[in-house]
Amino acid sequence: ETLQRIVSTLANKNDEIHNFIDMLNHTIKNVQVKSSNAISELDEEFDGLYSILDEMKGSMANTIQQEEARKIQALQ
């Protein structure tokens, strides 16, 4: 009888462990999906910011060149 209780307890603990492992695997998959989505969103955000900065660089360089030309012409 004692041996049967021990075996039963071990079987229950084994089931608990397998359920816990399944839960951990599910959690890992969710973390991986969420991490992948976060990285994709971050990539999109940085691409957008880089594009804006590149446009601003072009605009500022153009303004500087125009100002340079205006000042050189004024000095001539």
- 28-58: per-residue pLDDT in tens? 999 999 999 999 999 999 999 999 999 999 9
pLDDT of residue 41: 98
Q: What is the pTM of this model?
A: 0.64
Q: For residues 34 and 29, what is the distance between their CA atoms, to the nearest angstrom?
A: 9
CA distances from 31 to 3, 23, 24, 25, 26 (A): 41, 12, 10, 10, 9
Whole-angstrom CA distances from 19 to 2, 24, 33, 76 are 26, 9, 21, 84
Report pLDDT for 18.
Answer: 98
Torsion, CA 40, CA 45, CA 50, CA 51, rounded to 10: 100
Give 20-32 pLDDT, tens digit per residue. Answer: 999 999 999 999 9
Distance (Å, whole) CA 65 – CA 61: 6
